[in-house]
Amino acid sequence: MKIAAIGDLHMREDEAGAHRDLFAEIGREAETLVLCGDLTDLGKPREAELLVESLRSCALPVVAVLGNHDYESGCAGEIAAIVRGAGIHLLEGQSCIIEEVGFVGVKGFAGGFGSRMLGSFGEQVIKDFVGETMREATSLENAMRRLPAGRSMVVLHYAPIPDTLEGEPAEIMPFLGCSRLAETIDRFRASLVVHGHAHRGRYEGRTPGGTPVYNVAAQILKPNGKPYALFDL
């Protein structure tokens, strides 16, 4: 199955009709579309309505996760309802199967990488921060465990590895993702992982266990010269 993946469209209220031509092109090029979060710019329900309006130019099944921007206005639940109302498979720790390909998705969270990962130690606020990452990783784990064997794609907003963040300022790397997500992915089997969030990162990397990871943020240059990546699964 041909799958197009793109993240970080950041739809704004003053951008009615934006991405319509892009979605129409994807509709001709692929068989499924995956959206890797930051669907909206400020997390406003109106922005989500405009995005689903633009998506009408593409008749494909759509799989999505939310991003941090979709939480900005405290309306993530409303945004999720708008997106689901448009028939999009919004994954928040769930999975779905399209044409025998399994999709599993969570937003993920920050926390850093490898031995430099933020630990659950000290002040309560640090424990809460790490707890949020652990909850996302556990939610991914439960969804991956239920996924039937076969071709599968893990859909995230935050990065599971630092490789696809290369190009971002070193100071913000720990806020762009967390190895706990890669540890979970490597306990199971997935064909590939896509994420967004790192607008200045790098396209391609691998988890320590060898699963290919792609940063498909719209701002990242893809091998096909388009803002979206194309995968054959």
In the set 89, 107, 197, 222, which binds Fe ion (CB under 5 A)?
Answer: 197
CA quadruple 57, 19, 155, 214: dihedral sign: positive
Strand partners, 10: none
Tell me how far, at minimum, the Cβ of 41 lies from Fe ion, in Å: 9
Tell me how far, at minimum, the Cβ of 124 lies from Fe ion, in Å: 25
Tell me how far, at minimum, the Cβ of 4 lies from Fe ion, in Å: 18
Tell me how far, at minimum, the Cβ of 40 lies from Fe ion, in Å: 10
Please answer whether residues 100 and 151 qualify as being in contact, where contact means their C-beta atoms are separated by less than 8 angstroms.
yes
Stretch that binds Fe ion, among 5-13, 166-174, 183-191, 221-229 (CB under 5 A): 5-13
- Phi, psi at 31, each rounded to 5°: -115, -15
**Amino acid identity for residue 219 in this structure:** Q
Closer to Fe ion at the Cβ: 79 or 98? 79
- Other C-beta atoms closer than 10 Å to the C-beta of 227 total 19
Can residue 108 be called a binding residue for Fe ion (CB under 5 A)? Answer: no
Size of the site for Fe ion (CB under 5 A): 5
Please answer whether residues 21 and 28 qualify as being in contact, where contact means their C-beta atoms are separated by less than 8 angstroms.
no
| Residues between 19 and 48 with contacts to Fe ion, criterion CB under 5 A | 38
Residues contacting residue 172 through CB under 8 Å, at least 6 positions apart: none
Closer to Fe ion at the Cβ: 63 or 156? 156
Token pair of 133, please?
A: 């990452």
Closer to Fe ion at the Cβ: 58 or 198? 198
Stretch that binds Fe ion, among 65-73, 119-127, 140-148, 203-211 (CB under 5 A): 65-73
Q: Mind giving me the DSSP string for 113-169? A: -GGGSPPS-SSHHHHHHHHHHHHHHHHHHHHHHHSPSS-EEEE-SSBSSSGGGBTB-
Strand partners, 4: 33, 230
Stretch that binds Fe ion, among 51-59, 75-83, 160-168, 192-200 (CB under 5 A): 192-200
In the set 67, 102, 105, 112, which binds Fe ion (CB under 5 A)?
Answer: 67
Closer to Fe ion at the Cβ: 34 or 233? 34
**Amino acid identity for residue 228 in this structure:** Y
**Amino acid identity for residue 51 in this structure:** L
Give the interface with Fe ion as residue ranges (CB under 5 A): 8, 38, 67-68, 197
